[in-house]
A and B are shown apart, each in its own frame.
Chain A
């Protein structure tokens, strides 16, 4: 689940066009970047240089096969949420984000009393038992800095699309 933080990587119109053209994936052709360049009417060299530049700057995290975990039998998607001491949340958040079974880890604002949690860690597993074992590991890592936590399971995916770009 990626949303956004203030942009640090300014992309120009050509970069955005390249991203927009790949938002549903690269063409599965022998030379996918050449196919993309042709669609965009850009030189192949420029498309590849810009993709490399966006990877180097961190704007593109990776170009890769994106698995659909549900189809692979990964049925339990647990959003673990934690109320962690503000003075320690950044240091601990980094450690949680580095755990091999955590796909995303974010700090978000609390909205007490309805929402006391400030750290999110997405944990995936084949079933809830597996997710809960992993969440217990996170709890051990956080120790006494954590005042409470919960796991929110997704019961239904209502909409999922790739990246959307406006403008």
Chain B
């Protein structure tokens, strides 16, 4: 289980990133060229060699800064999904979270600060499989859930720019 605490304090990134790494992270969140040698194409744009791009991405991946270099799909392209929320007593959280995280249909599971304190995204091949998975979760955990199925997606896919800690001001 990955445990990540979110605090209210400002924290620095793990280390200083070179201008080249920053450019890699900012620019290529959006678009890896669909050409036979995309890393060479990125290198051309950034004035770096192909090997330097590959090594930098491999290192950023090792450090966990880049989770992967790959395709992001439009919601609903494969199967159906939903966002679900549950109110779980704190003393029962570990048990319930473990049950939910263990389900193959669940790909994100977050604890949030609210009466509805457990939120997860579940996907399945079709509606009936998803409904069955949610029902199984309710039965196994013993708590009802809110099924907040997407009505409309307003995302315009602009990505967003990472705000670096230094030297720029961060509290804009």
Report A's interface with B, CB cutoff 8 A: 1-9, 11, 16, 19, 22-26, 28-34, 44, 48, 51-52, 54-55, 58-77, 79, 90, 93-94, 96-98, 100-109, 111, 114-115, 118, 120, 124, 126-130, 150, 152-167
Q: Which of B107, B111, B125, B156 has the most CB of A within 10 A?
A: B107
Are A114 and B69 closer than 8 Å at their CB atoms?
no
Q: Residues of A contacting B170 with CB < 8 Å?
A: 126, 130
Report B's interface with A, CB cutoff 8 A: 1-14, 24-25, 28-32, 34, 36-40, 50, 54, 57-58, 60-61, 63-83, 85, 97, 100-101, 104-114, 116, 118-125, 129, 146, 148-163, 165, 170-172
Q: Residues of A contacting B77 with CB < 8 Å?
A: 7-9, 11, 59-60
User: How far in angstroms is the closest Cβ of chain A from B4?
Assistant: 5
Among A2, A48, A155, A166, contact of B121 (Cβ-Cβ < 8 Å): A2
Q: Residues of A contacting B97 with CB < 8 Å?
A: 158
Are A100 and B76 closer than 8 Å at their CB atoms?
no
Q: How far is the CA of A63 from the CA of B68 in the complex (A)?
A: 10
Are A65 and B57 closer than 8 Å at their CB atoms?
yes
Which B-chain residue is minimally distant from A8 (CB atoms)?
B76
Q: Residues of A contacting B123 with CB < 8 Å?
A: 3-4, 164
Among A29, A64, A155, contact of B31 (Cβ-Cβ < 8 Å): A64
Are A75 and B6 closer than 8 Å at their CB atoms?
yes
Which A-chain residue is minimally distant from B63 (CB atoms)?
A71
Among B4, B70, B81, B163, contact of A3 (Cβ-Cβ < 8 Å): B81
Which A-chain residue is minimally distant from B124 (CB atoms)?
A166
Q: Residues of A contacting B39 with CB < 8 Å?
A: 28, 30, 32
User: How far in angstroms is the closest Cβ of chain A from B119?
Assistant: 8
- Given A74-B162, A106-B154, answer yes or no on A154-B80 (Cβ-Cβ < 8 Å): no
Among B32, B37, B64, contact of A31 (Cβ-Cβ < 8 Å): B37
Q: How far is the CA of A4 from the CA of B75 in the complex (A)?
A: 4
Q: Residues of B contacting A31 with CB < 8 Å?
A: 36-37
Q: Which of B40, B122, B146 has the most CB of A within 10 A?
A: B146
Q: Residues of A contacting B72 with CB < 8 Å?
A: 60-64, 66
Q: Residues of A contacting B32 with CB < 8 Å?
A: 26, 62-65
Are A11 and B78 closer than 8 Å at their CB atoms?
yes
User: How far in angstroms is the closest Cβ of chain B from A138?
Assistant: 12
Q: Residues of B contacting A164 with CB < 8 Å?
A: 104-105, 107, 123
Among B9, B25, B110, B165, contact of A65 (Cβ-Cβ < 8 Å): B25
- Given A155-B6, A164-B104, answer yes or no on A79-B29 (Cβ-Cβ < 8 Å): no
User: How far in angstroms is the closest Cβ of chain A from B68?
Assistant: 3
Are B78 and A163 closer than 8 Å at their CB atoms?
yes
Are A126 and B10 closer than 8 Å at their CB atoms?
yes
Are B79 and A165 closer than 8 Å at their CB atoms?
yes
Are A101 and B38 closer than 8 Å at their CB atoms?
no
Q: Residues of A contacting B163 with CB < 8 Å?
A: 74, 126
Are B160 and A100 closer than 8 Å at their CB atoms?
yes
Q: How far is the CA of A19 from the CA of B7 in the complex (A)?
A: 35
Q: Can you list the 8 inter-chain pairs with the closest CB atoms, starting with the nearest? A: A25-B68, A4-B81, A97-B154, A3-B81, A73-B13, A159-B109, A156-B111, A4-B76
